[in-house]
Structure 1
Amino acid sequence: MSQEFVLETRGLTKEFRGFTAVDSVDLQVEKGTIHALIGPNGAGKTTVFNLLTKYLPPTRGEILYQGESITKLKSNQIARKGLVRSFQISAVFPHMTVLENVRVALQRPMGNSFHFWKHERVLDKLNDRAMELLESVGLEEYSNTITVELPYGRKRALELATTLAMEPTVMLLDEPTQGMGHEDVDKVVELIRQAAVGRTILMVEHNLGVVSKLCDKITVLARGAVLAEGDYANVSQNPKVREAYMGSEDAEVKGAH
């Protein structure tokens, strides 16, 4: 494996009772890039994410992270190595404050994630770092807000802050702009761009406008297999990609949902 690939799959395959959801996928994610995994509904994108994070075991194939096989590791072991999927550590405590959610996430690398019984002064030591993370995603003024009261777009920003608290090397973002209006989408695009500094990001995203703005490389899946790869300009002009998305070789892959 070349050292430039921080994450790689070789012949990654997942079968469900005769149905092949992921079909011999060779994926190569370069260090320090934003890489998108796109494709029409049912293409196998989320299944690939579930395989990478070991929420599903592969039927065949190998997964390499920083040159090491992680094919047989469990999901929590992979997260500890720095390969972190956003929903793994999302704000799962709706009735805690925004600050408390980030503080809990900060405890996880320390191995005392759920030590809620610790004296408040001990946990307060994490406040400075938690506030730095909230400031980085534009949530510092909401630090004392109960999480359930946040608008949807800001909840996704909080999810990004809790992901960053894990100090990931590679972040896997599963449709980070899903369900958002244009204003929130623009904010999240900028947050992802900032979060990518010094990190690698692999994202599943339906909004091709977001992909065109953010991503260095795109892998297109169709029926579980890699259909095309390249930058947005090349992929969007590929006749096979147009046909997969629009059902016609004459169709254009537009930057829309």
Structure 2
Amino acid sequence: MSTDYILQTRDLTKEFKGFVAVDKVNLQVQRGTIHALIGPNGAGKTTVFNLLTKFLTPTRGTIHFNGIDITPERSAQIARRGVVRSFQISAVFPHLSVLENVRIALQRKLGTSFHFWRSAKSLDVLNGRAMELLEAVDLRSFADTVTVELPYGRKRALEIATTLALEPELMLLDEPTQGMGHEDVGRVADLIKRVAANRTVLMVEHNLGVVSHICDTITVLQRGAVLAEGPYEVVSADARVLEAYMGTAHG
């Protein structure tokens, strides 16, 4: 396994009662890049994410992270290694403030989540780091806002802040711009590019504008198998991709 790649899969396969949802997928995610999984609905993108984070067990194949075979490991072990999926830890509590949400995520990293007997003031030590994270996702001015009052795009930014609180080496983002208006899409795309500066991001994304703007490598899935892979310029010019994906995206 190459040290250039933070994540590699070999012949990753998932079958459900004879139906092959993921078919011998060989992924190679280069360290320090933004890598996208795209494809039409039902292509197997979310199933791949569920296999990587062990929400599903592969039928066959292996998953290597930092050169270590993590295929037998459970979700919690994989998260502790630094593979963090946005929804796994985006404990966005609607009736707490934005700052309190990030503080809770930081508390998990410290392992003090269940110290109910401690005074709330004992968490003040986390405020500095929490504010740094809010600054990173352009939410500093929203620190005291009750989360339920945040616009949708800002809530997704808060989820990214809570993800960053666990200091992931590899961030998995599942459709981070889904359901957003144009302005929010641009803001969140820029945010992802910024926070990816010193880590690796693997993302499932439908918005091709986002993919072309921020992703270094794109893997196209169709019917659970890899159809094409490469930079956007190469993938978007592939006739098979145009037929399988671009046509459904624009037609």
Normalising by structure 1, report the TM-score: 0.95
CA deviations on 1:66-110 (whole Å, 9 max, x unpaired) are 000110111111111100000011133111111111001001121
Q: Do the aligned residues in 2 keep the contact of 1:169 with 1:200 (CA within 8 Å)?
A: yes
Within 2, Cα distance between the matches of 1:246 and 1:138? Answer: 33
- Tell me the CA shift for residue 116 of structure 1: 4.1
Kindly indicate whether residue 20 of structure 2 is the aligned counterpart of residue 20 of structure 1: yes
- Which residue number corresponds to residue 121 of structure 2? 121
Identity of aligned residues (%): 69
Q: Do the aligned residues in 1 keep the contact of 2:53 with 2:75 (CA within 8 Å)?
A: yes
Q: Do the aligned residues in 2 keep the contact of 1:14 with 1:22 (CA within 8 Å)?
A: yes
Q: Which has the higher helix share?
A: 2
Within 2, Cα distance between the matches of 1:69 and 1:14? Answer: 17
SS of alignment partner, residue 197 of structure 2: coil
- Which residue number corresponds to residue 169 of structure 1? 169
Within 1, Cα distance between the matches of 2:117 and 2:19? Answer: 48
- Tell me the CA shift for residue 115 of structure 1: 3.0
CA deviations on 1:8-29 (whole Å, 9 max, x unpaired) are 1001000001100000000000
In the TM superposition, what are the counterparts of 1:16-95 in structure 2 within 5 Å?
16-95=16-95
- Which residue number corresponds to residue 155 of structure 2? 155
What is the aligned length?
251
Distance 1:116-1:187 versus aligned 2 partners, 3 A rule: farther
Q: Do the aligned residues in 2 keep the contact of 1:104 with 1:114 (CA within 8 Å)?
A: no
SS of alignment partner, residue 112 of structure 2: coil
CA deviations on 1:18-71 (whole Å, 9 max, x unpaired) are 100000000000000000000000000000000000011111100000000110
Within 1, Cα distance between the matches of 2:107 and 2:160? Answer: 16
Within 2, Cα distance between the matches of 1:29 and 1:19? Answer: 26
1:228 partner amino acid? A
Q: Do the aligned residues in 1 keep the contact of 2:92 with 2:159 (CA within 8 Å)?
A: no
Within 1, Cα distance between the matches of 2:188 and 2:75? Answer: 26
- Which residue number corresponds to residue 219 of structure 1? 219
SS of alignment partner, residue 161 of structure 1: helix
- Tell me the CA shift for residue 141 of structure 1: 1.2
Cα RMSD of the aligned pairs, angstroms, is 1.4
Normalising by structure 2, report the TM-score: 0.97
- Tell me the CA shift for residue 122 of structure 1: 1.4
- Which residue number corresponds to residue 140 of structure 1? 140
- Tell me the CA shift for residue 149 of structure 1: 1.1
Tell me, which stretches of 5 or more residues in structure 2 are unaligned?
none
- Which residue number corresponds to residue 206 of structure 1? 206
Within 2, Cα distance between the matches of 1:220 and 1:116? Answer: 46
- Tell me the CA shift for residue 142 of structure 1: 1.0
CA deviations on 1:170-226 (whole Å, 9 max, x unpaired) are 000000000001100110011101110110000000000000000100000000000
- Tell me the CA shift for residue 121 of structure 1: 2.3
SS of alignment partner, residue 177 of structure 1: coil
- Which residue number corresponds to residue 108 of structure 2? 108
Distance 1:31-1:224 versus aligned 2 partners, 3 A rule: same
Q: Do the aligned residues in 2 keep the contact of 1:86 with 1:172 (CA within 8 Å)?
A: yes
Distance 1:160-1:246 versus aligned 2 partners, 3 A rule: closer
1:214 partner amino acid? I
Distance 1:203-1:246 versus aligned 2 partners, 3 A rule: closer
1:211 partner amino acid? V
CA deviations on 1:152-171 (whole Å, 9 max, x unpaired) are 00000000000000000000
- Which residue number corresponds to residue 7 of structure 1? 7
Within 1, Cα distance between the matches of 2:80 and 2:197? Answer: 20
- Which residue number corresponds to residue 191 of structure 2? 191
Tell me, which stretches of 5 or more residues in structure 1 are unaligned?
none
